[in-house]
Structure 1
Amino acid sequence: MKVLIVYYSTYGHIHKMAEAIAEGVNQVEGAEAVMRRVPETLPEEVLEKMGALDAQKTISHVPVCTIDELAAADAVIFGTPTRFGNMCGQMRQFLDATGSLWAEGALVGKVGSVFTSSATQHGGQESTILSFHVSLLHHGFVIAGLPYSFQGQMGIDEVKGGSPYGASTIAGGSGERMPSEIELEAARFQGKHVAEIAKKLKA
């Protein structure tokens, strides 16, 4: 059983969360996590001005996802930074190229899930995940989030991401904050949760 983790990461925060998602997937017997990134749409000189070029190079070993890989997977977990309360442009462009899969109904019945990051605590994490769900529903995905059985999203003892919609992290205004351990635990839980649901559906 294959769980595809498809993401875009500007400064490495979503990449780190994706690694934790993969760890959770691989905890489920018979499940295999496959990490893929979506194509970059910004030219190198723009990435350099953004201070993102070095971070992009550190994840360049992750293969770029193809549309066919979505159809071959049993579940897909998408990761995107928030852009004004919505998915990033790179992810939007990738999804806009899936019309042929929609026409074939190739993704109907697969488990779909989303995780995200934002610069600030209230930077649109929930709206990004919820608006992403619209695309998944049009494709016929069975949507899974991060249930409250993950107790780490409860409590007010520390600033943290995570909601019943999906795992998330807070990056800071200049990307100085990497995912905390509780946020990585949320990502692992979500990965395992999705894999368990996909395994039941496949059976």
Structure 2
Amino acid sequence: MKTLVLFYSTYGHLWKMAEAVAEGARQVEGNEVVVKRVRETLPAELLDKIHATEAQKAFAHVPIATPEELEQYDAIIFGTPTRYGNVASQMQAYLDATGGLWARGALVGKVGGAFVGTATQHGGQETTIRSFHTELFHHGFVVVGLPYAWQGQNGHETVTGGTPYGASTITGGQGERQPSENELEGARFQGRHTAEIARKLAPVAQPA
């Protein structure tokens, strides 16, 4: 079985969440887990202006995924920042390039889900994940969220991300807040849970 954790990140928060999702997915025996990113679409001068160039060097080694390779995986877990309560344009551009896969039904029956990051506690985490789910449904994915079996989203002692639709993190208005251990644990749970569902749905190999 193969799982892809595919993310876009401006400052590295979603990369850290992606690594945690992958860590959880690797806990499922026999699961080959790959972490990749989508291509940056902002011009270099704008990345410099918003102080993202230096931050992106930390995950520049992560390979860039092509839309065509999605059909190689049994499970795909997508990570994106929120932009005005919706999917970031970089990730949307990637998804918009999957029309050929949609036309062939190449992703029907695959298992998928999404995780996000927002600047503020109520900055559109759930709307973004739900919007992402709509796109996955159009491709025929079996969509998996982050069930309340993960107890980390039940507490209220501290500010934290985490929704029943998928893992999430809060970055702060200037990107000053890094994913907390609770948020990373939610990401690990989602990765493991999604891979476990994919394992259950995987066809049983027939003897030769």
How would you bin the TM-score normalised by the shorter chain? over 0.9
SS for the counterpart of 2:177 is coil
2:48 and 2:99 map into 1 onto residues whose CA distance is 32
Are the counterparts in 1 of residues 171 and 177 from structure 2 also a CA contact under 8 Å?
A: yes
1:107 and 1:101 map into 2 onto residues whose CA distance is 7
Query: Counterpart of 2:29?
Result: 29
1:153 and 1:120 map into 2 onto residues whose CA distance is 16
Amino acid at match of 1:88: A
2:155 and 2:36 map into 1 onto residues whose CA distance is 33
Q: Structure 1 residue 192: deviation in Å?
A: 0.1
1:155 and 1:200 map into 2 onto residues whose CA distance is 30
Q: How many corresponding residue pairs?
A: 203
SS for the counterpart of 2:136 is helix
Query: Counterpart of 1:162?
Result: 162
Q: Structure 1 residue 125: deviation in Å?
A: 0.3
Q: Structure 1 residue 68: deviation in Å?
A: 2.4
Amino acid at match of 1:99: G
Are residue 174 (structure 1) and residue 174 (structure 2) matched? Answer: yes
Q: Deviations over 1:80-130 (max 9, x none)?
A: 000000000000000000000000000000001000000000000000000
Matches within 5 A, 1:46-195: 46-195=46-195
Amino acid at match of 1:124: G
RMSD (CA atoms):
0.6
Amino acid at match of 1:7: F
Amino acid at match of 1:23: E
Which stretches in structure 2 are left out of the alignment for 5+ residues? Answer: 204-208
Detail structure 1 runs of 4+ shifted over 2 Å in the superposition: none
- Percent identity between matched residues is 65
Query: Counterpart of 2:206?
Result: none
Amino acid at match of 2:196: E
Are the counterparts in 1 of residues 68 and 98 from structure 2 also a CA contact under 8 Å?
A: no
